[in-house]
A and B are shown apart, each in its own frame.
Chain A
Amino acid sequence: MKDQVKKWLESGTVDIFLGMKMVDGHPLPHAFTLGNISDLEELVPGTVRYPLETFAAELAAENPDARIGLAARECTQRALNVLSLWNQAPTDRIETIKLNCCPSPLKEHAACSYLDPPEAGLFKKHFGIDNAADPEAVARFEPRERFSRWMYEFQKCIKCYGCRNICPVCFCEDCSLEHKDLIGTGQLPPEAPIFHLVRAVHMAGRCIDCGLCEEACPADIPLRLLYRKVNAVVDDLFDYRAGEGEQPPPFNIIGERPSLEPKPMENGSACPQR
């Protein structure tokens, strides 16, 4: 990768390359340029993830001529696809070098913070929701129990907005989470479950399942699981999976009409099978 980046910078393929560099034993995001090309010695793939695609999109927006290189995991690539569909990132000016990363322990040499998720404690397993749980297993709880387990998780929220702030596909200027008519302000925990459900709804058809939100959550709320659930609904209804391919998302209201039709009804119902 170092050679490739060096070649790109020297040939002018990219003006800046966003990757990770070791600083005092910590992998930190770093912008490699021709000016600091010797820093490439310390370029590392690492298991630690920062939303480099967000930084790339911001830099591209500020500098209309700049070409930006990016060390991209599979989730980074999915996020770029989504950003591109929503006109938030000029992918023609963003070059990526793919990292071997997919969060599967089966894959050799894969590097991702998700390979080593923290183990949920016994109390959480009993009364809350295990972050590593299978969505199917959560769906099997009785509705009342499922609700009380989710409410337990939501009530831990300290309203840091970290889930939104770190999210590579959250880019709205006005965020519904800060809309005073939707959600009350000034109190901890934020109104449950509305705060988290508002965010979940906005993640439908957009979340690329990178899990950065959960990694940023001080309260270990299983956000990834929550957004997987809403994405599953979108998949069932519209046959749409965010970040895959170049199909516009179903809720793209920027155009004249919804860009995707619901998929043909099965068993006489458009609702997903329960």
Chain B
Amino acid sequence: MECKFVPSVCSYCGVGCGVLFKVVDGKLTGTLPLKTHPVNEGRLCVKGWNIHDFVNSYLRLKSPLIRAFGRFIKTDWEEAIKITSDRLKDIVRQHGPDSVGVLVSAKMSNEENYLAQKFARAVIGTNNVDHCARL
């Protein structure tokens, strides 16, 4: 029996409410408002109270998928990364770096956004990087 409470931040709107994830035996069993957080002072909205629902959803993607003959096939990381990088390299070689676009996300962390734009600019060599906040 292992139980812990992990302070974090809600991943829905831009308010950034402090939450506390309740973890029992490695499973996320609940979300609570962080009582002393400067943003939400121990309150949450209906979405925030239910973060654990989507994290635990059976619909979560659990392995990389590749389309072959019109259908998705489950695969492992090694193959998925290899296929993707080979095809990207091909496209860059044939059509130049500006034939690739990267859409980063207003839902990922700062670190991940930083890496994603670094990927576009330094790895691919294009400034075709944008996010969906306009939408």
Contacts and interface: CB of A to CB of B under 8 A. Distances in A.
A113 B34 CA distance: 14
Interface in B34-49: 34-37, 40, 42-46, 48-49
A220 to B, nearest CB: 9
Interface stretch (B1-9, B78-86, B111-119): B1-9
B36 A27 contact: yes
Kindly name the residue among B25, B34, B42, B44 whose own CB sees the greatest number of chain A CB atoms within 10 A. Answer: B42
Interface stretch (A58-66, A133-141, A168-176): A58-66
Interface stretch (A47-55, A143-151, A252-260): A47-55
A243 interface: no
Given A48-B35, A58-B29, A160 B43 contact: yes
Interface residues of B, number: 25
Given A29-B5, A48-B35, A162 B43 contact: yes
- Contact residues on A (Cβ < 8 Å of other chain), bracket: 20 to 34
Nearest to B48: A160
Kindly name the residue among B3, B7, B33 whose own CB sees the greatest number of chain A CB atoms within 10 A. Answer: B3
Nearest to A63: B1
B43 A217 contact: yes
Given A30-B5, A55-B3, 14 more contacts: A28-B7, A29-B5, A30-B4, A33-B2, A48-B35, A55-B22, A158-B45, A160-B48, A161-B46, A162-B43, A162-B44, A165-B49, A216-B33, A218-B43
Sorted from nearest, which 10 A-B pairs have the closest CB atoms? A31-B3, A218-B43, A29-B5, A26-B36, A160-B45, A160-B46, A63-B1, A48-B35, A165-B49, A66-B1
